Structure 1
Amino acid sequence: MYSNTHILFSLIFLSFTLNIVRVLGKDSESGGSNSYILSCGSSSGGTDDDGLKWVSDSNFLTSNNNSLIATAQYQDPSLPSRIPYMSARIFSSESTYKFPVSPKKRLWVRLHFYPSSYSNFDPTNSYFSVIANEFTLLNNFSASIIAKATTQAYIVREFSILPVQSGSLSITFKPSTQHSGSFAFVNGVEVIPMPDIFKAAHLVGFSDQIVDVRNSSVQTMFRLNVGGQHIPASNDSGLTRTWYDDSPYLFGAAFGVTYEASKNLTIQYPPGVQEYIAPLNVYSTARSMGPTPKINQNYNLTWVFQVDANFTYVVRFHFCELQLTKINQRVFDIFLNNQTAQKSADVIGWAGSRGVPVYKDFATYVSDGYGGDELWVALHPSVSMKPEYYDAILNGLEIFKLNDTSGNLAGLNPTPSDMLLEAEAVNKFSPSESYRRGRVIGSVVLGVGGASIIVAICIFLYQNNKGNADGKESRLGNWLPLYNSSTNTTKSGKSTTSSQLSNLAAGLCRHFSLEEIKNGTNNFDESQVIGVGGFGKVFKGIIDGGTKVAIKRSNPSSEQGVNEFQTEIEMLSKLRHKHLVSLIGFCEEGGEMILVYDYMDKGTLREHLYKTDEPPLPWKQRLEICIGAARGLHYLHTGARYTIIHRDVKTTNILLDENWVAKVSDFGLSKTGPTLNQTHVSTLVKGSFGYLDPEYFRRQQLTEKSDVYSFGVVLFEVLCGRPPLNPSLPKEQISLADWALDCQKNGILEEIIDPHLKGKINSECLKKFGETAEKCLLDHGLDRPSMGDVLWNLEFALQLHEALGAGVIEEEKENNTYAMHNATISIEEESIASEETDDSNGREAFSQIMNPRGR
């Protein structure tokens, strides 16, 4: 019914709107400008982490309400603030809020929902309707189902309500009578005046019919900055809207090209177009079809959106010509669901000159008959007009759903896919990384460019499916940890609920008794703790009379659970490679989940990069560690029976043995990759702050190139000696990936490298290393290199470092036997190294090819 991408992003853009201080949100307690920002179920309100003041909702409830106040039992790490989400108003019967408002004034109505457990109220039993005056905003609404389908902890719905004539707005919550024991709840309500930004629109397919949006209430479905980046609400034109990247909605591989206004072009709103229609940032970027006329004539630039069937939608196109100056230079047709909305669109013809914004509204009705719940937007050059350039352009796009004839705006609850229903817990970080939580996220949102994308990733990668307190999986949404603290045990101490896991693990690796584990760790003595992670504590232990091992013990309150435990066993017990950590065995007695690994004497890579008393690693050693980790990942992608995607590549998951050999670890989130007939795996978004592939986040489509992106962050982390996210730095430097990319593109990468490496990396080696990392971080996975190509280039960077250090390159240049630029391997080219998985002969083969004189 709904695609995962649509649900995720249509809700994401609404949720971000609420995390920025709103221009229109005045003092809600005094009702300034008739704005109301209510923290529901709170006795005193408070100020959220972004400085926005919320007040108690108690003064706005009518006397006949039947409600309770409650506090959420669990605070999801992705919540942007405790206020308003940790308190809730719960309604067991129909109840109403009433607000005095200015007559004839449109209103933003925003509703916040956090479907957590509240006392004895199970969020999966909550189904309800919401009615604003005569308009039905939600019907049979289940926040739990939506949270499950979108892998999102909290939900926001935004509506623009028709001007109120009476000077009073009523918002009524009605528990469903179709579900026994159902209740309604809400965490936050906002009612804010807004200007009327709507006008009449032609109904596509009917030349003589007009849809007067001014007489309708609407729900905002999509708001996109086409060809540009995320625009936070604080940068909007006074309407506190959030604009999102359009690329997740593009159909197929035809992405066209993007560009932005030149610095000497001043964009000016013409008479009749208010600045609040769209911010300048929307009009200063664009997407076009590209420079090749023959290609452009044979395809449409197309976006596809999942919507609710049997509603009328208004699609608003924002245009601003940034390049051309004359009429008939760029002319194109506009289509909505295969119907012509506009023939021969000419932006210069409409605007009169370059740099002048215009917008056009078109209405279309989406019925069950065409595509069911899809809305297609397409642009194609108007060949019949014989323009100078066969091309099309678009700067921004908004889609609004109009109420039907009965005043209804409510759609159906989504149906989660099988993948989304997998009971997987999300990777949780160690206490040392706690700065990356909600408050930090709010800071990073205000950062520039790609940092905003990283923050969006941070906010939504923590969504979890947790088990109920009784250990049984909920049918719709699970909000407690997967770990079952109430597992029953027999007198012998063996679990009675883990037989399935035992059977699955049987024969794959050694099964330790709990007594063996306790003996090996001195009964889990705290002095033996060598690390703490999302799964729990890691102990140094001794087994079999003297063999050192690392013993990872699950924390009962950990969000990682039995799925990660099982995945780790099944993955690692079948894999053996020099650059993968070896799993020795496991234990699952007495409610314990314990994994036993080879002991890695030097700890994690991160421990040797920053915030450490360890001596700084020399550049050659850092390169060799990166090469070892790349070999391990390359083996996962190509050397095993199936492609294996690690899904959590980071410096704390690269361990070092006593000989400084790098080994990739922690396979709890790993996935078997796509088959020959697939291009990706659709799955929940999981990973770690600062490392997560933005394309994977946008599309929920996992490929091995997601590991490549994460590894690119690791490369810059190794080079710069700093964490991937550091909120104490200036905004443009918070995200290492964005900051390093910017420096790389501007040719100043050497200025931000680890001070211990200054003057110790030759320029050619640094150039090759920087180019390799940059390619790993490209926006689109198809453009990124394979791990085999990354491996080749890192090997070459090491050869450059060693050869230049010995003077070999200069000598061979003089003899005209070695030309460095000719020998440089392009990272885009296919490399035979992508078939090489053996460490020993691979290094020798590379050395013979790249350095004939040997070392």
Structure 2
Amino acid sequence: MPASTLFPWLLLLTVVSLAAADGGDADGSTVTGQIRVSCGASASATDGDGRTWDGDDAVSGVAAGASYQDPSLPSTVPYMTARVFASSYTYSFPVKPGRVFLRLYFYPSTYGNLSAAADALFGVTAGGIALLRDFNASQTTLALGCAYVVREFSLNVSSGATSLNVTFAPSSRQPPGGASGSHYYAFVNGIEIVPTPDVFTAPVPTFANGGRPSLAPLRGDTAFQTMYRLNVGGTAITPGADSGGFYRTWDNDAPYIFGAAFGVTFEKDSNVSIQYNPPSVPPYAAPEGVYATARSMGPVAQINLSYNLTWILPVDAGFYYLLRFHFCEIQYPITKVNQRSFFIYINNQTAQEQMDVIVWSGGIGRAVYTDYLIVTAVDSGQTDLWVALHPDLSSKPEYYDAILNGLEVFKLHKYGFNTLAGPNPPIPPKKINTVDGSRPESRKKSVVYAAVGGVAAGCLLAVLVACLFAYAIRGRRRKAEADQPADGLFGPTKSSTHFDPVQK
């Protein structure tokens, strides 16, 4: 649907005047000017994270209450009320020029005599960008196996602008099987706007292009959609625990790991403190909880050389994607250069060789992130984005391993079409269980299918591990002296049993 069709001549306008959040630092680590609207609500209320949501005084649409409160909802605010639109409607929010997070909250329920599952099909535009097109919140939540969905976008409010317009427009198509004159409707439960520094165009990302990475500067007016924000090796981080006052959600990465080769997860040593390095790595880059946990391949070098630690992330085909990798060495003995070096692969392309976190960060406990740009093949529907890590032996590192602390994936809007809109995700044959309701906490369908082959590989790996352990135990029994160092998280030292590719 062209973006122009979302602005029919009967468009209604309103200005929602809201109070700005208190506080703020000069470095942008605490955000001012935040706006939250609990659509359809008549008064202000506070959610489970302590955020205050103002009531909705829209002059169009119908205020409605949800008929059922799903137990997985994190709070009644803003999910239990909605604003329902039979025709296009625009909210106009007072904002300052610069980049903002725009979050849209949807809880598909029955509102009055309207069923969100069958009758809600609509588009959303903001700042001239089509964010959603023919969006069906009910199908989306069924596909993700959750009760509600939050769509997060990063938009750049142009210089001189004083407002951000957000338009909801029901689809012009007639519902299948509907009575003559029946139409789709649009609805929204909550709208959140959080001003941010420019967190995307600097540093300049590396474009992974057939194994020949190159720098790829991004335009300042690029719009982004958050596809994934993962706390790798750690538990989910709720919006209230995010850094910088941005209220981001960080999900556990385990549902997206390919096959049975999960590697190992661990937390930082008690005597390691997380250190940021402003301005290149400000504290708002990611909360400490992201850098304080990690996933690595495991303690056995031979096993690590036989597989890739891989994540599979379904995305919309035909778009560019920015991938942000968060790293931090958090456990001893990894303190020096060339102790751990690895490859980063994206869609089977080499994005980074000799990734040494100590080199990039400057030492143990120091946070760092790096960005890569990838383009998916032009196609309809969804495609899988593959991210993989594997030891790089070219510098003969001390340990054959790889590590990751956090991963974010952002979709870039198509410049010629001014759109971020993708199709509704396909509904899997079986319902997916969830933990927090906001995103899936089990593998998506494509990952489940891929895991079938991974199980077989995992069994072979398990047999090899058992053989190695048995061999090690036998060797120790033959020794009369107890002069060998104990195996730690990263396994024995290279001088003992680590595989060396130059040895015969």
The TM-score, its normalising length taken from structure 1, stands at: 0.45
For residues 303 and 29 of structure 1, the distance between their equivalents in structure 2, rounded to whole angstroms, comes to 41
What is the one-letter code of the residue matched to 1:373?
Answer: T
1:277 shift after superposition: 0.5
Percent identical residues:
48
182, 185, 198: which one pairs with 2:184? Answer: 182
153, 164, 175: which one pairs with 2:147? Answer: 153
For residues 164 and 193 of structure 2, the distance between their equivalents in structure 1, rounded to whole angstroms, comes to 9
Q: Is the 8 A contact 2:49 2:240 kept in 1?
A: no
1:327 and 2:337 correspond: yes
What is the one-letter code of the residue matched to 1:106?
Answer: R
1:209 shift after superposition: 5.1
**Match for residue 29 of structure 1?**
18
Higher RCO (C-alpha under 8 Å, 6+ residues apart)? 2
1:190 shift after superposition: 1.1
For residues 50 and 318 of structure 1, the distance between their equivalents in structure 2, rounded to whole angstroms, comes to 25
For residues 336 and 45 of structure 2, the distance between their equivalents in structure 1, rounded to whole angstroms, comes to 55
Q: Is the 8 A contact 2:257 2:311 kept in 1?
A: yes
1:170 and 2:165 correspond: yes
Which protein is richer in helix relative to its size?
A: 1
For residues 327 and 407 of structure 2, the distance between their equivalents in structure 1, rounded to whole angstroms, comes to 9
For residues 411 and 419 of structure 1, the distance between their equivalents in structure 2, rounded to whole angstroms, comes to 23
What is the one-letter code of the residue matched to 2:349?
Answer: Q
What are the equivalent positions in structure 2 for 1:684-833 lying under 5 Å apart?
698-699=442-443
Task: Please list the CA deviations of residues 557-590 of structure 1 after superposition, one character each: whole Å capped at 9, or x if unmatched.
Answer: xxxxxxxxxxxxxxxxxxxxxxxxxxxxxxxxxx
For residues 369 and 444 of structure 2, the distance between their equivalents in structure 1, rounded to whole angstroms, comes to 32
**Match for residue 178 of structure 2?**
none
**Match for residue 192 of structure 1?**
194
1:217 and 2:223 correspond: yes
Change (3 A) 1:216 1:70: same
Q: Is the 8 A contact 2:103 2:151 kept in 1?
A: yes
100, 113, 121: which one pairs with 2:114? Answer: 121
Q: Is the 8 A contact 2:343 2:389 kept in 1?
A: yes
1:144 shift after superposition: 1.6
Name structure 1 gaps, 5 residues minimum. Answer: 1-26, 427-455, 464-684, 686-696, 702-780, 783-855
For residues 329 and 313 of structure 2, the distance between their equivalents in structure 1, rounded to whole angstroms, comes to 25
What is the one-letter code of the residue matched to 1:173?
Answer: F
**Match for residue 336 of structure 1?**
346
**Match for residue 236 of structure 2?**
230
What are the equivalent positions in structure 2 for 1:449-460 lying under 5 Å apart?
457=435, 459-460=436-437
Q: Is the 8 A contact 1:127 1:179 kept in 2?
A: no
Q: Is the 8 A contact 2:291 2:328 kept in 1?
A: yes
Which protein is richer in strand relative to its size?
A: 2
Q: Is the 8 A contact 1:366 1:372 kept in 2?
A: no
**Match for residue 293 of structure 1?**
301
**Match for residue 42 of structure 2?**
43
What is the one-letter code of the residue matched to 1:91?
Answer: F
SS of the equivalent of 1:107 reads: strand
Task: Please list the CA deviations of residues 298-331 of structure 1 after superposition, one character each: whole Å capped at 9, or x if unmatched.
Answer: 2111111111111111111111122312221211
What is the one-letter code of the residue matched to 1:130?
Answer: V
Q: Is the 8 A contact 1:258 1:287 kept in 2?
A: yes
For residues 186 and 343 of structure 2, the distance between their equivalents in structure 1, rounded to whole angstroms, comes to 46
1:384 shift after superposition: 2.1
Change (3 A) 1:352 1:79: closer
Task: Please list the CA deviations of residues 593-614 of structure 1 after superposition, one character each: whole Å capped at 9, or x if unmatched.
Answer: xxxxxxxxxxxxxxxxxxxxxx
**Match for residue 55 of structure 2?**
56
1:179 shift after superposition: 2.9
1:287 shift after superposition: 1.5
The TM-score, its normalising length taken from structure 2, stands at: 0.74
What are the equivalent positions in structure 2 for 1:327-476 lying under 5 Å apart?
327-368=337-378, 373-405=383-415, 406-420=417-431, 457=435, 459-460=436-437
**Match for residue 79 of structure 1?**
73
Task: Please list the CA deviations of residues 751-787 of structure 1 after superposition, one character each: whole Å capped at 9, or x if unmatched.
Answer: xxxxxxxxxxxxxxxxxxxxxxxxxxxxxx99xxxxx
For residues 186 and 230 of structure 2, the distance between their equivalents in structure 1, rounded to whole angstroms, comes to 32
Change (3 A) 1:74 1:280: closer
1:68 and 2:62 correspond: yes
For residues 363 and 69 of structure 2, the distance between their equivalents in structure 1, rounded to whole angstroms, comes to 53
Q: Is the 8 A contact 1:107 1:194 kept in 2?
A: yes
**Match for residue 108 of structure 1?**
101
**Match for residue 201 of structure 1?**
205
Q: Is the 8 A contact 1:211 1:363 kept in 2?
A: no
1:396 shift after superposition: 1.1
SS of the equivalent of 1:34 reads: coil
For residues 145 and 371 of structure 1, the distance between their equivalents in structure 2, rounded to whole angstroms, comes to 14
1:208 shift after superposition: 4.3
Q: Is the 8 A contact 1:213 1:402 kept in 2?
A: no
Change (3 A) 1:160 1:380: same
What is the one-letter code of the residue matched to 1:276?
Answer: Y
What is the one-letter code of the residue matched to 1:289?
Answer: M
Cα RMSD after superposing both structures: 2.8
1:417 shift after superposition: 2.5
1:243 and 2:239 correspond: no
What are the equivalent positions in structure 2 for 1:537-556 lying under 5 Å apart?
none
Name structure 2 gaps, 5 residues minimum. Answer: 1-15, 22-31, 176-182, 446-457, 460-504
What is the one-letter code of the residue matched to 1:131?
Answer: T
SS of the equivalent of 2:205 reads: strand
SS of the equivalent of 2:166 reads: strand
1:372 shift after superposition: 5.7
Task: Please list the CA deviations of residues 773-825 of structure 1 after superposition, one character each: whole Å capped at 9, or x if unmatched.
Answer: xxxxxxxx99xxxxxxxxxxxxxxxxxxxxxxxxxxxxxxxxxxxxxxxxxxx
**Match for residue 314 of structure 1?**
322
Task: Name segments (4+ residues, structure 1) moved above 6 Å.
Answer: none
